[in-house]
Amino acid sequence: MLTTDDVAKVADLAMLDVSAEELATFTPQLAAILEHAADVEALDLADVAPTHHPYPLVNVFRDDVLDDAMSDVRDEALAAAPDAEAHQFKVPPALGEEM
Amino acid sequence: MSDSSIPTTAIAIAAAVSEGSVSATDVLEAHLAVIDHGESEIHAFNEVMVDQARATAADVDARIAAGETVGPLAGVPIALKDNMCTRGVATTCSSKILEGWKPPYDATAVERVTAAGAVAIGKTNLDEFAMGSSTENSAFGPTKNPLDTTLVPGGSSGGSSAAVAAGFAPLALGSDTGGSIRQPAALCGVVGFKPTYGAVSRYGLIAFASSLDQIGPFTTTVADAATLFDVIAGHDPRDSTSIPETLEATVPHLDDGVAGLRVGVVSELMGTGDLAEGFEPEVLAQTRAAVDALEAAGASVQEVSVPSTIYGLSAYYLIAPAEASSNLARYDGVRYGHREAGAANTAGMMKASRTAGFGPEVKRRIMLGTYALSAGYYDAFYGKAQKVRTLIIDDFARAYEHVDVLISPTSPCVAFPFGSKDDPLSMYLNDVATIPSNLAGHPAISVPFGAGRDGLPVGVQVMGPLLSEARLMAVGAVLEAANPGKATA
């Protein structure tokens, strides 16, 4: 059975802050969905191969040549960034103090 | 359309614009007038692209005046689900985390409709990141069903289906991961089509569950759906999952009819057995009437069992969130979208931005997917779900040894009131009939057929094997001609 501790750990892995109140809501909801999904336990799947992809394509390659189509959009892409400097994305210190 | 000089279907508009009997600008202005009148109540759009659309329409008119052949969608307004990238036009996925983001490129499907002469008229509302069946999960407020504004339009592409149903645009594009084109089409009384996985490029479609997502049309007629599909379909080297083979055009097959066609009715999706709950009797009755209409048109009909479809919902709600948890990891406030201010370090900034930017359903699915993929649970959940996917594909293959198409209701119920499915699991059950086609990668179309509870439209779903789109259009055209609810829908 899924506990609030499980959900808190998953939220942390998913880079989400979840309040105690939200944990109390999310935990039974997620537990109900997992419980519904447990109906597949009734199936014998030992010899069944998994399907990762619905259309049988493998090893899709292209020629190793530069595609210029996006070369003129660097400024547009950087303009959409929350912060940029010297044609690069800018973030707070990676090794700064803990919040 | 209030202006009676403007045709209502895309095919008729394109013909009129191409021969010069009406201008693309007049067509656009007539639709902008309808939007102006109804949009404040419906909220189909996150943004109406008034200036861009006027410029595009003027360009179409100039090319026609110069004697050019513009294309099969000449001057036809088209609404675009707001999870498709439009260069320089905000693309939000109805999420605060992407609010105001302007992509530096167009999605391939957007490029193709524009090249065919269509006029992009606006970006339509959706459940945040296409996660939902009602548009109630939009960060910018729900879309209302044009047939009755106390009811949901369905989802996640509810803005696109409402835009077509309200006459805001004769065409719209949506995306379908577990039913997000077909279910809202059914609830709004329009045609919705999910193509074979890989038939339409996903380049520029913001990813939800990459092995399931597929772009497709919303229209008022099956012929318009075929026309729009033929424009957007075909190989795109920018999408590595795009089907490289040349695809068959569907428009030439619209009048093929169903004489001699073998039609199967999926017993598991007809309100019996484990999935009986939730299927409204009127929806089942209309689906049976649709099957009778196909039989009267020369098809042979049999009941067919696709036993593992009953596990489709479980497999889907492990696979889709798992893929979503991975796809949505990119929203971290670094390169685009919302960044929460005040964090002391990068990790804190990412966490704060994601927490502020995502709504509750998106968080629920990210957590579900993270759990299903985490160490110790991968085999029990995600691995098992992928095996169920194989069972469903095998069951469909067995069914298609005996029949050419399969029929079911699109949605177990007609349009429902806002707030009536506030428990996530009860909302998910809406997708029970549409999910199997996504898991198998197969095409499926929803066509309006008759009325259910309270006179609301019912959608009948026609499913087929990989790349059977031409056959589905032919069956859809027969159902459309026999639709007893034509006058009201």
| Strand-pair category, B191-194 with B262-266 | unpaired
Compute the distance between CA of residue A77 and CA of residue B264 in angstroms, rounded to an integer.
Answer: 50
Domain count of chain B? 1
For the residues B464-475, what does the mean pLDDT come to?
A: 98
> B217-268: per-residue pLDDT in tens?
999 999 999 999 999 999 999 999 999 999 999 999 999 999 999 999 999 9
* Yes or no, beta carbons of A76 and B102 under 8 Å apart: yes
For B24, the token pair is 């693309």
> B111-170: per-residue pLDDT in tens?
999 999 999 999 999 999 999 999 999 999 999 999 999 999 999 999 999 999 999 999
The pLDDT value recorded for residue A57 is 86
With H, G, I as helix, E, B as strand and everything else as coil, classify residue B32.
helix
CB contacts of A89 in chain B (<8 Å) are 334-335
**Nearest chain A Cα to B335, which residue?**
A81
Is there a domain that residue A68 lies in? no
* Yes or no, beta carbons of B345 and A6 under 8 Å apart: no
Domain count of chain A? 1
* Yes or no, beta carbons of B354 and A49 under 8 Å apart: no
Is there a domain that residue B481 lies in? no
* Yes or no, beta carbons of B318 and A37 under 8 Å apart: yes
The pLDDT value recorded for residue B488 is 45
Q: Does B244 touch chain A (CB under 8 A)?
A: yes
Cβ-contact B131, B431 below 8 angstroms: no
For the residues B31-37, what does the mean pLDDT come to?
A: 98
Partner residue opposite A43 with nearest CB, options B347, B388, B393: B388
For the ranges B26-40, B301-315, B442-456, B475-489, the lowest mean pLDDT is seen at: B475-489
Beta-bridged to residue B219, according to DSSP, are: B171, B191
> B82-114: per-residue pLDDT in tens?
999 999 999 999 999 999 899 999 999 999 999
Return the DSSP state at B381: I
The pLDDT value recorded for residue B489 is 40
Q: Count of CB atoms within 10 A of residue B68's CB? A: 13
Active-site residues of B, by number, are: 81, 156, 180
Domain of residue B205 covers 10-252
**Nearest chain B Cα to A84, which residue?**
B335
* Yes or no, beta carbons of B367 and A95 under 8 Å apart: no
In a mutational test of the B interface, the residue from A3, A12, A15, A39 whose CB has the highest number of chain B CBs within 10 Å is A15
List the 190-209 stretch of B: residues with Cβ below 8 A of A: 196-198
The region, left, alpha or beta by phi > 0 then psi within -120 to 50, assigned to residue B66 is alpha
In angstroms, the separation between the Cα of residue A8 and the nearest Cα of chain B is 9
> B274-306: per-residue pLDDT in tens?
776 789 999 999 999 999 999 999 999 999 999
The residue assigned the tokens 């750990």 is A9
Domain of residue A21 covers 4-42
For the residues B333-346, what does the mean pLDDT come to?
A: 94
Is there a domain that residue A75 lies in? no
| CATH number for position B76 | 3.90.1300.10
> A17-52: per-residue pLDDT in tens?
999 999 999 999 999 999 988 888 888 899 999 998
Is there a domain that residue A47 lies in? no
Compute the distance between CA of residue B187 and CA of residue B216 in angstroms, rounded to an integer.
Answer: 17
Partner residue opposite A48 with nearest CB, options B346, B352, B391: B391
* Yes or no, beta carbons of B346 and A94 under 8 Å apart: yes
